[in-house]
């Protein structure tokens, strides 16, 4: 009887873990907008991303050295390659596209299609075949994202390569995420791997910032608030929970939660910056929730 009770409690906890982790990831993922909104007013994108990744890496470094297995060079190199893909190319690519006048709404929409690319790549790279229910849920979730993003969509007058960069950055992050789940060499404790990824990004963003003119941060309250948001929520919370979920669940289950990022981002904008909420947002949120539920249940 005691064993049966323990099994029931363990099953209940395991069922609650996925929605709990997904909720934390969505909060962290969508909060990046808040940090960028605060910090980008007085600093270039390269400076903003340099300080975001540098501070994240420095804060994590003592914990990475003191806790967990000894970090060896053979384990660091694959993590650095992943950091180039998931931090430098992903974050830097979208930032550069926005600087080249690709409309922010279009960039956000393409970035929010990461789960669709991950779902498509998971079968050939990992052998994780999506069921019919999961493909249906994916299609519904994408429809919800389109509804949420429709009001802010425009195509602008950016150079053609900038649009390609946006799509390429999204695909690189999707490939990196799928490879992380499939390669045992990347299964380092989360705080250690995130430290290496952040410091790798800091070096590369630092080079870009120096090329553009300097890395000195603006000493303003807004920039400081933005860094707190970007480091604590958009980096520590979002990436740490995301990496943990990739270990525990299928790619389809992990990626489905990302579809909820656009409507949650709009809630952040409404609460902190008084941006209006539209009926399309609530309709899109409802449609997306149905799609995420179907995908995660598959």
Tell me the C-alpha distance between 90 and 170, whole Å: 7
Q: Residue ranges of the domains in the chain?
A: 29-297
The answer to whether the CB of 109 falls within 8 A of the CB of 145 is yes
pTM of the model: 0.77
Q: For residue range 231-283, what is the model confidence (pLDDT) as tens digits?
A: 998 888 988 888 888 788 877 777 777 777 777 777 777 777 776 777 777 78
pLDDT tens string, the chain, 298 residues long: the values are: 444 333 433 444 467 787 888 888 888 887 777 777 677 667 777 888 899 999 999 999 999 998 888 888 878 888 888 889 888 888 888 777 777 777 666 666 677 777 777 777 776 666 666 677 777 777 777 777 777 666 655 556 667 787 788 888 888 888 887 777 656 556 788 889 899 999 999 999 999 888 878 888 888 888 888 888 889 988 889 888 888 887 888 777 777 777 777 777 777 777 777 767 777 777 877 887 787 777 766 5
Contact (CB, 8 A) for 46 and 209: yes
Per-residue pLDDT, 3: 43
CA 51, distance to chain mean position in Å, is 18
């Amino acid at each position: 009887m005691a064993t049966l009770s323990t099994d029931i409690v363990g099953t209940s906890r395991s069922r609650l873990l996925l929605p709990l982790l997904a909720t934390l990831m969505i909060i962290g993922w969508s909060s990046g907008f808040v940090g960028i909104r605060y910090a980008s007013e007085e600093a270039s994108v390269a400076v903003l991303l340099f300080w975001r990744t540098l501070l994240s890496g420095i804060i994590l470094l003592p914990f990475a050295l003191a806790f967990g297995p000894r970090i060896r060079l053979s384990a660091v190199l694959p993590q650095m390659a992943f950091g180039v893909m998931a931090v430098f190319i992903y974050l830097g690519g979208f930032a550069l596209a926005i600087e080249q006048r690709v409309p922010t709404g279009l960039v956000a929409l393409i970035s929010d299609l990461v789960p669709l690319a991950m779902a498509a790549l998971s079968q050939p790279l990992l052998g994780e075949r999506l069921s019919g229910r999961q493909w249906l849920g994916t299609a519904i979730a994408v429809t919800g994202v389109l509804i949420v993003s429709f009001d802010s969509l425009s195509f602008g007058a950016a150079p053609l390569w900038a649009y390609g960069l946006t799509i390429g950055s999204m695909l690189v992050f999707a490939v990196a995420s799928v490879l992380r789940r499939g390669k045992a060499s990347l299964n380092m404790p989360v705080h250690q791997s995130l430290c290496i990824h952040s410091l790798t990004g800091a070096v590369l963003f630092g080079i870009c910032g120096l090329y553009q003119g300097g890395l000195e941060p603006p000493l303003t309250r807004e920039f400081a608030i933005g860094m707190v948001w970007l480091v604590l929520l958009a980096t520590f919370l979002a990436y740490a929970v995301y990496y943990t979920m990739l270990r525990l669940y299928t790619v389809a289950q992990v990626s489905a939660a990302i579809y909820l990022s656009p409507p949650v981002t709009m809630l952040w904008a409404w609460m902190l910056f008084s941006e209006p909420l539209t009926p399309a947002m609530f309709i899109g949120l409802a449609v997306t929730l149905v799609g995420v539920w179907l995908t995660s249940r598959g």
